[in-house]
Each structure stands twice: as C-alpha cells, then as structure tokens.
Structure 1
C-alpha cells in the first residue's frame, strides 16, 4: 500500500522542479513559500536552507523549508503527517527554533515536536491571511495621492521601514547598512503623499510569483493615523498588482488589531485562513 514519505534536500533548484506544481496549485495559501523560494532561486544560493516535500507515488502533497534561523515553515498537513515529519527531523538530529504554519498544522507539529524532543512549544503570534475579492476604494478618499517610491526616496524609505520594524517588534532591525540584505530590499513600495508632498503612509508588494502578489508591509506613523492613509495606499498597491496581472493579491494581519482587520475587509479583502507561530524551548 502506498505511503507518505518526506524527502529532504538543500538543492533549491531540484526542490523547486519537484514541488513547483504543488506550490502553484494554491498561490494564496502558499504565498510565503512561493516568494521565499523564488528569492533564493534568484540569488542562486539557498543560504543553508533545508527543503522537504511530502510525496506519495511521486505526488507532492506538502512542503517545508527551514531557514538558517532554524524556523520551520510548513504547508498544511494532517496531524499524522506532522508527526511523521517531527519523527523524521528529530531522528536526523535536526534542531528547530520554532514553526510557522496554518493554525491547525502549526499546533499539530508543535505538539508532535514536543513528544519527540521534549522541547516545550510557546505560542508566539497568530496571523490572519486575507485574499483580495473586489477592490473597493475607501470613501471619503483622503487628500493627497499615491506615488511609486524611487531611488531618491531611499533614505526616507529606510527610515519608515525602520520605524515599522520597531513598531511591530520585528527582528532584525533594518538600517542603511543592512537594507540590501533585508526582506524589504526586493519589495515595490508606494507612498501616500499629503498635498504638500510629504509621505504620510507606505505600502509595498512582492514581485509576482504564480500570479500571486503579497502586500507587505503597510505602515503609517502613529501620529498620522486615523486619516485613511493606510487604506488609500493599500488600494494603490492592490490596484497596481491587479494591473500587472495578479490573480491572487494577499496580505497578513495581526488578529489583535481590529482596526486593520476591519480596514482591509472594507476595501475588499476576504479571510482565507489563520496561521500560528510557535517557539520551541
């Protein structure tokens, strides 16, 4: 009787060739592995990342990747498949700092990892995943306009991204020296400018992969919030993604922020599923 089996590699091109159809089958759900794997392929260096695919008779049904930070990113699997992966990785002596996955998958793997290694999982953060339905610009539209960010804006962009990282508690921090290696360097940014030309909000989108674009990050400095700038700039980048041919435009939100969740739903984003992040002792 055919059984599931996990296959591991550090060859990003081989992994992509075997897992491409699976990843492209659900671009919205697989948005993060799609962008991460494409970035590694473009760089021509997997940078110590380990990849795995779950196969039965040559058919891929799930994948994972583990970055040098030792954080595991896993697509949805059953609790039995999560236990199979935990058994396989622990048997090979792999270390893990945590897991990020769809909520039930992350929970199942965290529990399986604890059974296999005695490493206690701690819930770190939840995320809502949204996909754009019908784009609905907010009314009234705030004063100002959207403007694509260019090289002359680099200093201001780095400053805003640094503020964003500090505001959400993201690590590592970003500055002019670390910008080129940061997760922001390959994004396509747009500013929302006040009538006098002052940037009051920003949003970015990833390059398109499998018809999918992810909006990330969206940030308005605290003293400028409450004027509709975030909604306006999100509409700008969402419209640009659609104009470029995107069939899936997605974004993540913090479940603990009702303001942003309500905003994105008002402009046409529809809930897809919830994700969870666990840390291991």
Structure 2
C-alpha cells in the first residue's frame, strides 16, 4: 500500500481512471482541479487497485477525493511540506489531521448533494432565468466577492477572469426579477467524467426569501443536464438551514459530509 505522485495530468488520469469513473461524485472536487493542480496523487491498496486520490495547488491547498482512512493516515507530501488548508470527506480529513499532529481549525462544514430527479419549485418564482453576459460583470463581481467572504473561501483580488470564463461558456446564469433587475446567480462546472457541479449560488441580500435561488438553481441544473451530465452535484454549508432545505425540494439527495480545515503552522 503506497502513495504515488505526479505533476502530469495525463499520467494521473491513466493511473486513477477506474476510480474516477466509478466514483465521480466523491471525486468531484479533484476532477475539476486536475489540469490546474500543482501535484496529483493516488493511493494503491494491497492488490494494486487505486482507492484514493488527491490534488494540491499553492500555497499548498490540499483536496482529497475518495480516500480510505488508512491512506489519509499514511499520507506525506513528497517534498515534506505541510498543507495550509485541506478539504475532503470528513473521516479522511480528520484521520490525516490526527496523524500529522498539526493543530487545525474548521473553515467549512459542508454536505455533498447529488441530483435524483429535478423537481422545479411550483409555483415558479417571479421573473425569469437567462445566461449572464459581460454587461453583468460589475454586479456579479461584487456578488462573487460577498459569496467568498460568507463561505470563508480564499478571496480573489479580481473576479473578472473567473466569471468571464463561465459567461463565455454559458455556464453562469442570473435570475431577473419581473422588472428586469438581476437578483440572483448560479454557475455550473464543465461536464467532467459525466458529472457537473452547481456552484456560486447567490441571491442579493435584499432579494432573499422570494424563491430566486430555487429558480436560478433549476436553470443551471437544466443547463448541466442539457450539456450531457449524467450526475449533477452541489455542496451546501451545513450551517445554512435555508440551502439544506432548498436543494432536497429541488430533487437533490445527500451523498456525504465534507470538512475543510486550516492548519496552524508549527511554532
């Protein structure tokens, strides 16, 4: 049983292909990081089967995919560095943290949901969904910054490129109120290994409680299905009862809990 590491996405995909194809939901975060990762790793069991994967990006930020506890406990990054943050299934994250002896603090406690059958809100919220355009960028940039702050993600100096990429590929939608004002947004990832992930679901604070998040989430879910996704996923903040109640009403079912932690450097 051992860890293997590479910086080459194709080498990683070849080595971990069976696990990534069999467990796309559990590996959703790693799958969306492969091409931009600084380091990729896979764990082989006694029979040589790959049963765990990870991706790392600066400074380093470590992300676990499917991961047996024994793999998490045995993990040591090849250059001897220790991660600044880690995200993954709760049991694996806690096992790794305990094995290293590092002090840590939680930064996100989240739940993975997978679409069963889409059940749009009825009656639908007032207004309509549309794909975002570059004219929306100033407003959506403000919303993205607030979204990151609320969910304690690492902030960006500028969200223009992040949003423009999604706009160019019709993966970012807004919900317009009846008077034409954008009041909510949601995005969806590219389809990778048959799965796509809804993210960046946000409603302007003054517009909450009107069903706009349900409307725009339904729109991007339909877009993901139309793009060929066999599985549509999303994460929710476990501390937010509103979102955890909303997504089951739309047909999403819980798949498992994930934990994000920030490690405290050794003195």
Asked if TM exceeds 0.5, the reply is yes
Give the distance between the partners of 1:226 and 1:123, measured in 2 at CA.
28
**Is the counterpart of residue 216 in structure 1 residue 196 in structure 2?**
no
1:273 aligns with 256
The secondary structure found in structure 2 opposite 1:260 is helix
1:62 aligns with 52
1:28 aligns with 25
1:231 aligns with 214
1:51 aligns with 40
Structure 1 residue 174 displacement after superposition: 4.5
Give the distance between the partners of 1:169 and 1:72, measured in 2 at CA.
16
Contact (CA 8 Å) 2:145, 2:155: kept in 1 or not? no
Structure 1 residue 80 displacement after superposition: 2.4
The secondary structure found in structure 2 opposite 1:72 is strand
| Residue number among 175, 184, 192 corresponding to 1:201 in the alignment | 184
2:238 aligns with 255
Give the distance between the partners of 1:244 and 1:76, measured in 2 at CA.
25
User: C-alpha deviations, 1:40-99, integer Å up to 9, x for none?
Assistant: 2xxxxx5xx1111112454211111221121221123333222211xx33x852222132
Give the distance between the partners of 1:235 and 1:133, measured in 2 at CA.
13
Q: Tell me, which stretches of 5 or more residues in structure 2 are unaligned?
A: none
Give the distance between the partners of 2:207 and 2:174, measured in 1 at CA.
13
User: What is the total number of aligned residue pairs between the two structures?
Assistant: 259
Q: 1:1-281 maps to which residues of 2 (within 5 A)?
A: 4-38=1-35, 40=36, 46=37, 49-56=38-45, 57-85=47-75, 88-89=76-77, 92-114=79-101, 119-175=102-158, 178-180=159-161, 182=162, 184-187=163-166, 188-281=171-264
Q: Tell me, which stretches of 5 or more residues in structure 1 are unaligned?
A: 41-45
Tell me how large the CA RMSD over aligned residues is. 1.8
Contact (CA 8 Å) 2:108, 2:152: kept in 1 or not? no
Structure 1 residue 149 displacement after superposition: 1.0
Would the alpha carbon gap of residues 143 and 92 (structure 1) be closer, same or farther in structure 2, given more than 3 Å must change? Answer: closer
Q: TM-score, normalised by structure 2?
A: 0.90
